[in-house]
Structure 1
């Protein structure tokens, strides 16, 4: 397994990040544990494994025995509790996003990540994960409504208490990452060390702003591929049937379908599965720290591991650029 530094930190992480949001909520303790065991055995590491959970991920389920939105965190906590030595082998990441639960000073549906809310939800994540610290706490879009000074005050307090080690972001624009790290520097805080963003061979908008900003500030890039996953799995995997956004999702998928079909044909000529080639392409990008995989079971995890064995040469990468050009290539061709 190949490792890379997490941004400008001294911590090295595996270039595959195991996202457990698909195994925790729905498949039960035995299978979710089997996926995490297989990942650890395969050397998916951060300090041996990078598990990306989030308190807004997960659905109520009878299978796991947990009924709140943190089912994925519960799954990891259950897995860790069965062998306490695992905690020292992994670097554990989670995220704070989604609407806040009602409470004093918190109206229902308020997604603002105030300082008290950050601390409260971090404590809840620690309880679900059954651990005393989180290695990477990722802040998502609600941080846009909160001054960075307030965010850093809260996270600095959590770090001083030994409850978190690093802070990252999820889905932030380049200017937001820059603003956050400039505010951190004024406080002499470490600031954001990573950013989780949508990035795939078919959807390369991150190359325009997010990747250059991350490189400038020493922020590691963790890629995820929801659009490509949806095309590989079908529209229903991207959004639940019947939701108002379904038509918009379908239009978005249809817009990318021609290049997706060309991509699939190219993968068939390689004799490889499209999902494996897509992951191999992502890992070939020098700006990328790690790629998030979200397997539903051991078989999908094994298929993802195949990407580590695929070497895309200059010819193959050029062909993929022609099928799905990035912003720089598209401008050069005008």
Structure 2
């Protein structure tokens, strides 16, 4: 099908419909409110359900109820809104219910601002809810990739019976780019009898299925958490996604960056190449699971002297980069927050300074 020019938020909305999700509950917050604006007229056209909740807290439990009934469901929000949903997200993890959450990040902490940020990295990958819950987290770098990841997220949520989060900075939601919705990514809900409630015997199943996350027996709760942990380990084994850029030959430094920030870094890498300085880049497409092995291998290359984590945050991803590098190379962080986006020229200067510091240490 031909590509159409769409704003990122609208492409996310349409992608969910194309993925077979006709249930959307949300509460408006900048910079992602266009998703709801689009779906409030689009979903009725396809016999879908749109409902604006009275708060993000309420929305999280609307998601819980719909997922527990066995239907595909998703929501979109931005940073403070996701914080309010975090209790419900933990309940979804505990009850092993599939759902998709899209966070179009804005600056913080607190109310912060409405401009783009990547300051929810730690929240999404390590602190999304109480207990030992984890989400599979995907990070698009373009409108096209955002649409594709949304379409991929629903079957992944059902595969693992776990919420999936699409983590995009505000630029992803607001920029306009050509986009298409690949037919091969369309899918139908699968195995819903495996998780949907049948507690009132209204299904033909001979066994009841009660949706719950409460386990008062400590041994039973421990077994449940061990099962969840095994599931998260399976995600690490099967779902790591990343992009290599300019890593085929030798390079003096390695940049790790994700989302639209990685596009700025690619420009810097190309500009440095023109100046005779080779720099490789790895872009994580999944933030959990994180591409630890790929980054560790790239950093260990003999020609590589330093690793740089470039983010629109105060250094949240750098901890995962350091763990991946395991001390093989010095790791530096560079970033801005509050809506300012580092420029290619700034990144070039940081790379040169980092390499010069490495030479002085030698």
Query: Do Structure 1 and Structure 2 share a fold, with TM-score over 0.5?
Result: no
- TM-score of the aligned structures, taking structure 2 as reference length: 0.29
Report which of the two structures shows the higher radius of gyration computed on alpha carbons.
2
Structure ranking higher in helix proportion: 1
Q: TM-score, normalised by structure 1?
A: 0.31
